[in-house]
């Protein structure tokens, strides 16, 4: 029995036709909702990636010229001091600050979507 014969058997009664139409509509609805949700999930991750890229850009605006000068001159003491001064920022403050900003934006966006 091939696929077309099986389809003919399942569509031979009004009940089979109704069930086939309902199943098609369920599949259509699931595909539609999944795609809409997937679109928003992808947008969510893209927003997080952009936030991380902006954090990297912000870090590059710090005083790296003095670090580069320390490397160029061979002054390892100046380089070590510069890296030690950046360690708290890179380790704790920057990820926390970025997460808080994204979370506040998320709350405001969720409130706008809820009340819209």
Question: What residue segments make up the domains of the chain, in order of their start?
Answer: 62-116
The set of long-range contacts for 66-69, using a CB threshold of 8 Å and a minimum separation of 24, is none
Token pair in block for residue 93:
């403050």
Average the pLDDT over 61-78 and give the result: 63
- What is the predicted pLDDT for the residue at 31? 83
Q: What one-character DSSP code corresponds to residue 46?
A: H
pLDDT, tens digit (0-9, with 9 covering 90-100), for 89-101: 666 666 666 677 7
Distance, CA of 87 to chain centre? 27
Please tell me whether the overall predicted TM-score, pTM, comes out greater than 0.75 for this model.
Answer: no
pLDDT, tens digit (0-9, with 9 covering 90-100), for 19-49: 878 888 888 888 888 888 888 888 888 887 8
- What is the predicted pLDDT for the residue at 33? 83
Contact yes or no for 25/60 (Cβ under 8 A): no
Listed residue (115, 106, 114) closest to 44, CA to CA: 106
Tell the burial category of 86 from Cβ atoms under 10 Å away from its Cβ (0-12, 13-18, 19+): middle
- CA 46 – CA 40 distance, rounded (Å): 10
- What is the predicted pLDDT for the residue at 41? 84
């Amino acid at each position: 029995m091939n696929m077309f014969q099986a389809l003919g058997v399942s569509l031979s009664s009004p009940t089979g036709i109704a069930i086939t139409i309902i199943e098609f509509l369920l599949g259509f609805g699931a595909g539609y909702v999944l795609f809409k949700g997937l679109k928003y999930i992808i947008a969510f991750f893209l927003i997080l990636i952009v936030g991380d890229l902006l954090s990297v850009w912000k870090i590059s605006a710090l005083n790296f010229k003095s670090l580069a000068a320390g490397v160029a001159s061979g002054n390892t003491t100046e380089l070590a001091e510069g890296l030690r001064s950046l360690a708290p920022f890179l380790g704790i403050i920057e990820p926390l600050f970025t997460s808080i900003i994204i979370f506040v934006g998320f709350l405001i966006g969720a409130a706008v979507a809820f009340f819209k």
